[in-house]
Structure 1
Amino acid sequence: MKLGNKWLAAALGSLVFSGAALGADTQLSALFMAQAAYSEQDIEQMTEAFEAANPGTDVKLEFVPYEALHDKIVLSHNAADGYDVVLFDVIWPAEFARYGLLENVSDKIDSTTKGKILEGAWSTVEYDGQYYGMPWIVDTKYLFYNEAMLKKAGIDSPPATWGELVQQAKTLKEKGVVEYPLVWSWSQSEAVICDYTTLLSAMGGEFLDDKKNPVFHSGGGLKALEYMVDSIKAGLTNPNSREYSEEDVRRTFSSGQAAFALNWTYMYSLANNPEESSVAGQVRIAPALGEADISKASAVNGSMGLGIPVNSKHKDLAWKYIQHLTSMPVQEDFARLSLPVWKASYDNPEIAKGQEELLVAAKVGLAAMYPRPTKASYQEMSAALQLAIQNALLGNQSPEDALREAAETVANLD
């Protein structure tokens, strides 16, 4: 495979170890996600450069679906052959810190580095003032729309609010442009929580109050779920959305079966690639919408970081590998599926080239990222919310009853 010369040079210049320091055939084991953001091929190429810069080092890569990532990290804690580097979600540092799963690397991060990385990215790896890794993927969900479909329905510009999106979806359906104008990732998984968080933030909702009591079952949190349910009842949302992940959304939208979709950054490149999409050239992107008199835009913090499990036998080398993957030259060379965490990268014309519209949307979306709750028991909270949302989407319960039951469960969590 062809390796990017500029970041290979950077790797060779800053990451070379002496053979004595490494020993022969030192193996790192690294755990990554097999969907969204960087592709497996991207990570393999990044890793090849690191291995080339560090003779005698072999990095064993493992890719799993997002849904398996958390449990893989937890279960490997006491394993004899655990991981040296793991990819983790922004919602996990509180839990991992409480149970001592990740190395505290605060002393490895200097003030200069802190100042050069987007402020919001640091929340990905921080808990209680300590850092448990380096931010690597800074991401949020955007509104994707098919410009050709909108024009066919006589719609001149995309919606400015979630309410306006419903009206445009109705027009598209009534004019026979597409059966289900909307597609979402609403499977009973963290995917639906990300979409729900986006809508909750747009409608002025909150998950918890100042005393950490659940309040998502009222106000904007309730309005968000009612919006989701109503879009299905009106025949505007593809009913299969209740089973869809982000990749299902991408495939549905890219095959011309939807006019609007909410998804992560990586879909922009793939949906505009003729080899991956039948609607390439028709795809536009905008920040996720706001709601009239409440918000201008909405966004969920979907960022991820790289950390070192406390039981790693090669912590120094693992940190060097993380430094390589998160370095600005590497991130800039692979900025088509995931945007860099470095501030200066957004002024680099090479990064903007061909994805100017994405960067415009990113400036708004990344600044509006709304966090999911920082709780050690977040996994349990999320599971209760996933069940409630699914019950409401399936019509088993009203949004009000479903969220009230979830709130009762969450109130009893620590």
Structure 2
Amino acid sequence: MKKSKLLMAAALGALVTTSPANAEKTQLSALFMAQAAYSEQDIETMTAAFEKANPSVDVKMEFVPYEALHDKIVLSHNAAEGYDVVLFDVIWPAEFAQYGLLTDVSDKINEATKEEILDGAWTTVEYGGKYYGMPWIVDTKYLFYNEKMLKEAGISKPPVTWSELTTQAKVIKDKGIVDYPLVWSWSQSEAVICDYATFLSAMGGEFLDADGKPVFQQGGGLKALEYMVDTIKLGLTNPNSREYSEEDVRRTFSSGQAAFAVNWTYMYNLANDPKESSVAGHVGIAPAPGVEGISSASAVNGSMGLGITSKSKHKDLAWKYIQHLSSKPVQENFAKLSLPVWKSSYDNPAVTKGQEELLKAAKVGLAAMYPRPTKASYQEMSSALQVAIQEALLGSKEPADALNEAADVAADLD
């Protein structure tokens, strides 16, 4: 009898040890970007709320610079322990679909959801008629300007054309208000391609023709690079721009060392935050300029989505996490660094209050977003173009020669 009681006690102890409350948690691994858009703290807070609502789940987050994001996703595909959820750029679905890196989630997205999200946002996750994730960051580049500097120079409003920007920058420089009125993210990376695409779209250029052949070396594409080079030759662009990322641009502008900057949405509230910026209260925002007779504004599609890797062992749970991060309540609660992808969010005072000027610019910018090419070999084409632009910016090659060489490389790709 005594032995029987001891056995029963042991059995009960085992049950307690393995009860659901004490069971080992399921771990999700997620990869994010450590720059622009949502901050690491924002994502950690979003995730903490998900874990609280799903106590059996533990999300392991990894943050890397944008430049490392693509290769991290690719290399993890054959790793023993890969990611479940990844943040990916609008330019990657073609490549990722070709090589089977992401899970097709078309059957998880209903028509109501499609209608409720901004049309342009869906281009971020769609390829070949299939959806490979949920839109999460809808973004483009805007023109930021220092209102105080413009006023000191006798300028009453920001430029609406790129030639007008050059004229205003000359006035500001000539008056000795700031040494280099312009600052850009022109390092040899995808950042410079985004600025180049903005100029190219304004000037009526194209990356590729209808047959997929490169044409960026002519017309608006050539004029775009010539404009970039001219701003350096004129002493208007901070020469360090050739090494700068978006964060360098934000810091330079926020420290009062530039009158104009082109950057993503996230810079608006940070540049207006006295804890982050010495020019807070003097920061204006407008759509990136256009070209008279060609365009009224310019913009590049810099949106990003969240997807499930094809090797994930927890696809249903990964999708649940993605649904949480991209949900309207979560996005509206964290709308200061990245605007929501939901149409109705723009009627919510909690989103619009204090961001009226940003949303005014966004209404124009998001509607004008120009896409970078959708092709599996985009990374290789972009790399060749980055080199060409850098050579022209450094003065080692003429813009036409540099772009022709990049076009020859691009022509040999698929």
Q: What TM-score range do you get, normalising by the shorter chain? A: over 0.9
Q: 2:157 & 2:63 partners in 1: Cα distance? A: 40
> What's the offset of the Cα at 1:24?
3.6
Helix, strand or coil at the partner of 1:103: coil
Q: 1:160 & 1:409 partners in 2: Cα distance? A: 35
Q: 1:59 & 1:350 partners in 2: Cα distance? A: 28
> What's the offset of the Cα at 1:55?
1.2
Indicate conservation of the 8 Å contact 1:144/1:263, yes or no.
yes
Which residue of the partner structure matches residue 332 of structure 2?
Answer: 332
Q: 1:132 & 1:283 partners in 2: Cα distance? A: 37
Helix, strand or coil at the partner of 2:124: coil
Which residue of the partner structure matches residue 57 of structure 2?
Answer: 57
> What's the offset of the Cα at 1:47?
0.2
Helix, strand or coil at the partner of 2:373: coil
Aligned-residue sequence identity (percent) comes to 79
Which residue of the partner structure matches residue 102 of structure 2?
Answer: 102
Indicate conservation of the 8 Å contact 1:345/1:351, yes or no.
yes
Which residue of the partner structure matches residue 139 of structure 2?
Answer: 139
Relative to structure 1, the CA distance from residue 150 to residue 340 in structure 2 (aligned partners, 3 Å threshold; closer, same or farther) is same
Q: Which amino acid aligns with 1:174?
A: D
> What's the offset of the Cα at 1:89?
0.2
Helix, strand or coil at the partner of 1:124: coil
Deviating above 4 A after TM superposition, structure 1's stretches of 4 or more consecutive aligned residues are none
Alignment deviations for residues 338-374 of structure 1 (CA, whole Å, 9 cap, x no partner)? 0000000011111110010000000000000000000
Q: Which has the larger radius of gyration?
A: 2
Q: Which amino acid aligns with 2:83?
A: Y
Q: 1:42 & 1:23 partners in 2: Cα distance? A: 29
Alignment deviations for residues 29-48 of structure 1 (CA, whole Å, 9 cap, x no partner)? 00000000000000000000
> What's the offset of the Cα at 1:156?
1.0
Which residue of the partner structure matches residue 14 of structure 2?
Answer: none
Which residue of the partner structure matches residue 151 of structure 1?
Answer: 151
Q: Which amino acid aligns with 1:382?
A: S
Which residue of the partner structure matches residue 306 of structure 1?
Answer: 306
Q: 1:55 & 1:406 partners in 2: Cα distance? A: 52
Q: Does 1:365 align with 2:347?
A: no
Please show how residues 224-239 of structure 1 align to structure 2 within 5 Å: 224-239=224-239
Indicate conservation of the 8 Å contact 1:300/1:369, yes or no.
yes
User: Aligned Cα RMSD in Å?
Assistant: 1.0
Q: 1:329 & 1:29 partners in 2: Cα distance? A: 23
Give unmatched runs, 5+ long, in structure 1. 1-18
Helix, strand or coil at the partner of 2:300: coil
Which residue of the partner structure matches residue 284 of structure 1?
Answer: 284
> What's the offset of the Cα at 1:23?
6.7
Q: 1:330 & 1:394 partners in 2: Cα distance? A: 44
Q: 1:281 & 1:366 partners in 2: Cα distance? A: 24
Q: 2:245 & 2:82 partners in 1: Cα distance? A: 28
Q: 2:136 & 2:335 partners in 1: Cα distance? A: 12
Which residue of the partner structure matches residue 412 of structure 2?
Answer: 412
Q: 1:218 & 1:153 partners in 2: Cα distance? A: 36
Helix, strand or coil at the partner of 1:364: helix
TM value normalised by structure 2: 0.95
Alignment deviations for residues 58-79 of structure 1 (CA, whole Å, 9 cap, x no partner)? 0000000000000000000011
TM value normalised by structure 1: 0.95
Please show how residues 9-408 of structure 1 align to structure 2 within 5 Å: 24-408=24-408
Q: 1:276 & 1:401 partners in 2: Cα distance? A: 41
Q: 2:87 & 2:186 partners in 1: Cα distance? A: 23
